[in-house]
Each structure stands twice: as structure tokens, then as C-alpha cells.
Chains A and B, each alone.
Chain A
Amino acid sequence: MNRVFATILSLGLIAGGAGFAIAESNPATPVPPPAPARSISSATADHTKFDILKKPFASGPEVTEACVSCHTEADDQIMHSIHFEWKYASDSGQMLGKSQVINAFCGNVAGNEPRCTSCHAGYGWDDMSKTAEQAGAVPDCLVCHDRSGQYTKTATGAGHPPLAPVKPGTKTITGAAAWPVDLSKAAQSVGMPGRDNCGNCHFYGGGGDNVKHGDLSSALYAPPKEVDVHMSPDGLNFTCSTCHVEDKHNWAGSRYDTVAKDMVGRGKPGAIRTAATCESCHDTNPHPLNIKGVKLNDHTDKLACQTCHIPEFARGGVATKTYWDWSTAGRMGADGKPMHEANYVQSDGKELHTYLSTKGDFKWGEDVVPHYAWFNGHVEYATGEEIDPTAPVEVNRVNGTPGGVDSRIWPFKRMEGRQAYDTDSNKLAYSHVWGPTTDTAFWTNFDWPKAIEAGMKAAGQPYSGNFDFVETEMYWPITHMVAPASDALDCAACHAQDGRLDGMAAVYMPGTNPRSPAGLLGLALVVLTLLGVGLHIALRIIGGRKGGTDHG
């Protein structure tokens, strides 16, 4: 295994999901990961030669100032992107984005800003009641463009990097013990983003390695081919932005509005498509024109490529969180102090938390078989809506019409759990969990009434003062960790009785029901024919004659 990968993985696992209320001592001096391999660049500028980048920088924003002195439009572009705004005006009419929604993991950003905004592509967004721009946040160029490998952000610093002297116990956004970042070195190293730039935030969403997405984990820093055929250094060695192509710092590929069915494919020769779909490279009839490929192409109108080509997610040795029960949080150990249990053993032997006083009960999964559903790319959130607490609440609804023109069957990670809601308004509740110095933060005081009241206040929402916990489900489209073609899902995974797509509406799948009405009718015909033949034989025997026809 690649050393970079191993280092990052182990650093991530040491503290991943450990809960940041628990301080851990780190006697050894933290070491930054080594610089990633430099990609071949055809750029006409060598950033090590710019005088403005050679000076010592006292803060992240100072580096940004230097960047925009040449890249005059870059800050404007990034400040109008979802990476900075954390807002997404969905086609459904809902305002989505991290700053708005309640998810099934840590819940909400509002009220927990410096922790959650540690992964903001900016510096200093510490108040979610204001937009990042109003809050005076400054774009962070380095988090995406640093190629020295030693740039990072502190886990609780509203996006700022750890700078010398680093306070002992400080963590980075990947959960590693923080080292002092050399901003000048980072500024001179800039280049196009590598897997590490994106992964340092996106692989650790939800508080630890692969906790949130299921198909985005530290395994993708340098995956073997069988984990990700595109990103593997042994394969195509793609970076994230090879597929997530960009226009003015806005990236293709969104979980809020996914292109669930790409009818355009490669487009016209030479035409630029800002789409992150499989079809934008592989075209709409991706299988070769042979006897097998033609049949496989028959599936593309109803099945997303991912459905067959990502047979399981959370592959590569990093488990994903599949269940999170907030209602059990707050139970203390025998000594009256916050406790943890670690009863899930990951394939590499690492024990993962299954209970934390701060967060409640967890379940984990590796090589997880996805949940499948018709999907037209549109997702709606239950945030702010009246819910039915007697049934599991879909935190986000995956829209799609079975058999619809715009829809296909997609694989999803289904996250399950229990979350707080306001029992009077029947709305999901915001909670204030992070805040080492407040007397309302749950992870500090373990007091739900206070934590929810503070969370609702931070989000500007009315709160009755009464709460309970409701079962929730959340869906995450699975689109990474594409396996080599030889590992694609076998036909019989679905074309069999009780197959993976059993009960899916609007698909006709041979092999799933031999006793369909037509099948039973046919079987009856064959049985009657056999009975007739048997009767005929019996009568011939009783008649004692062979019969004497000259039948030909």
C-alpha cells in the first residue's frame, strides 16, 4: 500500500469519529503528510518564482490577497460557488446547501459554525445567520490548490489553518493531530487540485473517514484498481476534477441536483460539456456493439451506470456509518464521565465507535449493498416541513418517476437513525452540539433541552420547548468507487427470484418470476399436454393395441 495513503489513513483513523469533545494527548510531534506526486503541468507560470509568494504569510487571508492580485476574478468566482455560499437554489424551489439543511449526521451547521465551517472554502465564517460574505469570510485558495501536501485547516477554526505555535491537542479537518502549516511553502506550490485537496474535506464529512457518503473515503487517496478504476494510480489516476469539470469555479456534479439520466452523452466532437456524468465520457450506449454489449446497452434507459458498476460501496477497507441514533446520546460511564464503546471491527482490524456519550449509537458497514430507487436527480429536504413522527422521516426525499423519461434506477446509501424533532410543530429540530465554552452545547453539557433550544435559536427557528426523537432515513447517491468492468454486478444479482431489484416498479426483468400469469398459463399448457399424452398411452395399453397408423 502506498505510503501516503497509509499515513493519511492511519492519522484519519486515530481520531476519526472520536468526538471532538474528547481531548487526546499526543506526545509525538505531529508530522504533515508528504507532498503528493507532482502532476505534469503545462502551465506557463511557475509559482515559486513569484516574489509576492516568497514572503512570509501571517494568515490564510494574506495568501488569498496575494493570489487575487494576479487572479483578479478568482475570488468573485469562488464566492458565487456552492463551495463558498453553502447554498443551492434547487429546481424544486427549496433552498438547499449546508447552511440550510438538517441532515442525518451531525444535524445542522447553524450554531456549530467554527467546527462545521472548518471545511468551508474560506476563512472566518463563524455565524451561519449571515451569508459567508456578510460574515466577512475570505476565500481560501490553498485548500484546493495547495500541492505541498502540508496545508490543512484546524478542525474547529472556521476554516483557518493551524499556524505556529500550534496549541497542543489541535486537530486537523481529517482528525489528525495538527502540525504548523507553512503558508509560504503552500502558496508557492499551487497547482490544479489533486485527490487529496478535495478528499481532505469530502472524505471526512460527518465527523470522520467515510462517515457520510459511503463512496468517498480515504481509500480514494490512492485506491487500488478494484476499489476505483478511474482514480487508481495503477489505472487512469484521475483526480476528482477530471470528472467534476469546472466553469468559473463552479463544478459539475451535485448531490442536490444530479444529472440522473444523461441523454446527451459525449456531445458533438470537441464540444465542451460541463457534466460529471459517466455518459459525458462513455456515451449513452457505452457497451461495445457485440452480442453481449448490445444486450447490456438495453439496460441504460432504466439503470444508472452506477447501479451495475458500483456493486457495493464502502470498499477499500474503510467502513461507512449506516446508523446513528442520537436519542441514546448522553449516557455516562460508571465514573459519570463521557464514555465510548467500540464494537465494530473494520476489515483492517481497527475498532470503530458504536457508542459515544456525545453522539449516541452507531452502526457501520463495509462493502455495503446499496439501496436502489428511481431517481430523477432532484432531492428535497424535510428541513422546515411538517413531518409525520409515526413513520420514519425521509430527511431528504429522492424524487423520481418509475419508468419516467427523466428517471433511472440509482444506487443509494441509506442512512438510518433517530433525530430530535419539535413535538408541537412536528418539525425536525436544529441542535447546538459543538461549543466547548458554552453551557448549551450538547457535546459539552449533555443536556438535550438546552442544546435544542440553542440550536433552534441559532437557526432562527421557533421552538415550542418540547422535543422527542423520530426515526429518520437519508439517501446518498452512490457514484464513486466504480469497479473494473470485470467486477460489475452479475446479471443474476437482479435477474433471479428475490434479486437486488426485487419489487422495483416499472421494470420488466426476466428471471425474477417464472410463475407470472403468462408463465403459469404456459406451464398449465405443458402439464395438460403431458397429461393428455399419459392418458393416450394408458388408453392404448388398455386397448391392447399399438395402433397402426402410418403417421409420418
Chain B
Amino acid sequence: MARRVVKVYPRFERLWHWTQMVMIMVLMFTGFGLNGLHSLLPFGPAVMLHTIAALVLLAIWIFATFWLFTTGTWRQFVPQLEGLFKMARFYAYGVFRGEEPPYRKVFWRKHNPLQALTYFGLKVVVFPAIWGSGLLYLTYNFWAADEGSTFALYVVANIHLLAAYVIAAFVITHVYLLTIGHGFRSHVRPMVTGYDCIDLTPEQEAYLETNEPGRLMPKEG
């Protein structure tokens, strides 16, 4: 087992992540404005910006979904029970006592179990909820029935709003957790440069050195 600096986030994944970040920020800012929480943007332009940001995000998501499945990266996001409790215990208790985290990144698992479960929940429940409700919201005219469409819109809008608040809570937690451990900068850096320090088995190391040398930083020293 060797610690090596490996490119874990290919260019597309980083582009996806940061596009998503910007768009989610735009969507949250405009969306909460449309909901009436603030009035920093006029309503009409805010609607259009919200729609455009959503369409951009939708496009990048279509690419991301395709990428996740064609590259097999989707496996990274499958939740696992193993180590989940330990991770939760660490965040809730161990971290305050200066314990070492019970998880180390490996080549095919760049997320800790709790992280993977969170992302899985987002991808399977929250994102579909906000996308589904958002698209229904956007296409109201195409499905609105003669009667009952006001109630349907009420349901759609409230699902959209609740999902948005869940995402807001996720963003807060996500950014906060970056401060735990090696610090904010070192946690953000891999998503910028693509490279992170992970454990490689001798076989993985040999494979990468032979077949994908570009994904490995030269050993230090």
C-alpha cells in the first residue's frame, strides 16, 4: 500500500462540479428571491436567470449522467454500510477528541461512507425532486388541466421549495465539512487541480505507472 498523489478528479468531473456549484448558487439566489425571501433582483429578470441557470445545469447533468455510467464512476456513489457508523461516530464524537478519521481514500472510493450516502441521497431523492418539480413548474402550460391545476401547481411548487431548502442545508454542511481535517484549502484543491493523495495497492500503482502515467505525480524525494 503506497500513498501517491493521483489524479482522482478528471477534467470533466471538475467542470461538472464547478458548473454545478455556480449554477446552484445562481438558482438558490434567484429562487429564494422568487419565493419572496429577498428582493435584490426584479422578479421578471430573476425568473429568466433562474430558468437559464436551470437549463445550463440540466445540460451539464445530462452529460454527467452519461459520463457516470459510461466510465463506471457511478460505483463511487453507491452507498455502503461498512464504515458508515464509524464515520458518523467520528463526526459526532471522535473529531472533538482529535481522533484520526476512520476512513482513508482508496482508488475506487474517493468518498467516505457518509459522504457517499449523502451524495446518493441527493442524486436519488433531492435532485430528482427539484428537477422534476422544476421542469413541471417550467412546463406548466403543457400539462395544466382545466381543473385542479392550481392544486397541482401548489404541490409542485412546494416540493420544489422544500427540495431547494434541503439543497441549501446540504451546501452549508458540505462547505463546513471542508474545514474539518487538513483544512479548507487542502480539501478544495483536489477539485481544482484534480490531484489528491490516496492509498494505492501495489497492483493499482503498477497499473497506473504502466498504463496511465499521466494520472500519477512523481514520487516525492
Contact = CB atoms under 8 A, between A and B. Distances in A.
Interface of A: 285, 291-292, 294-295, 297-298, 300-302, 403-405, 490-492, 495-497, 506-508, 510-514, 516-519, 521-523, 525-526, 528-530, 532-533, 536-537, 539-540, 542-552
A508 B157 contact: yes
B36 A512 contact: yes
Contact of B162 (A295, A405, A512, A521): A521
A549 B141 contact: no
Nearest to A297: B141
Contacts of B44: 292, 490-492
Contacts of B112: 549, 551-552
Interface in B145-159: 146-147, 149-150, 153-154, 157-158
Nearest to A522: B165
Contact of A548 (B100, B154, B172, B178): B100
A526 B176 CA distance: 13
B169 A529 contact: yes
Contact of B150 (A506, A518, A521): A506
A548 B177 CA distance: 12
A136 B111 CA distance: 95
A474 to B, nearest CB: 29
A550 B138 CA distance: 41
B51 interface: yes
Given A295-B51, A404-B147, A548 B96 contact: no
Interface size class of B (residues with CB under 8 A): 35 or more
B83 interface: no
A551 B95 CA distance: 12
26 contacts: A291-B51, A291-B52, A298-B140, A298-B141, A496-B36, A506-B150, A511-B35, A512-B36, A514-B37, A516-B158, A522-B165, A525-B169, A528-B169, A533-B173, A540-B96, A543-B95, A545-B97, A547-B180, A548-B98, A549-B103, A550-B101, A550-B104, A551-B180, A551-B181, A552-B105, A552-B196
Interface in B4-22: none
Interface of B: 32, 34-37, 39, 42-44, 47-48, 51-52, 90-91, 95-101, 103-105, 110-112, 115, 138, 140-141, 144, 146-147, 149-150, 153-154, 157-158, 161-162, 164-166, 168-169, 172-173, 176-178, 180-183, 187, 190, 196
Contacts of A491: 42-44, 47
Given A490-B43, A522-B161, A549-B95, 17 more contacts: A291-B51, A292-B47, A295-B48, A301-B149, A492-B39, A508-B153, A508-B157, A511-B43, A513-B36, A521-B162, A521-B165, A523-B165, A543-B95, A548-B99, A549-B90, A550-B104, A551-B187
A547 B141 contact: no
Most central of A491, A549, A552 by chain B CB within 10 Å? A552
A511 B147 contact: no
Contacts of B176: 533, 536-537
Contacts of A508: 150, 153-154, 157
Interface residue SS majority, chain B: helix
B71 to A, nearest CB: 18
B47 A295 contact: yes
A288 B190 CA distance: 45
Contacts of B101: 547-551
A512 B176 CA distance: 32
A516 B155 CA distance: 12
Contact of B103 (A295, A532, A550): A550
Nearest to A517: B158
Nearest to B31: A510
Contacts of B182: 550
A495 B51 CA distance: 17
A1 B99 CA distance: 84
Contact of A547 (B43, B95, B138, B150): B95
B150 A403 contact: yes
Closest 4 CB pairs of A and B: A522-B165, A549-B101, A545-B98, A543-B96
A72 to B, nearest CB: 46
B98 A547 contact: yes
Contact of A510 (B34, B39, B141): B34
A507 B96 contact: no
A347 B126 CA distance: 56
Contacts of B39: 492, 496
A529 B37 CA distance: 18
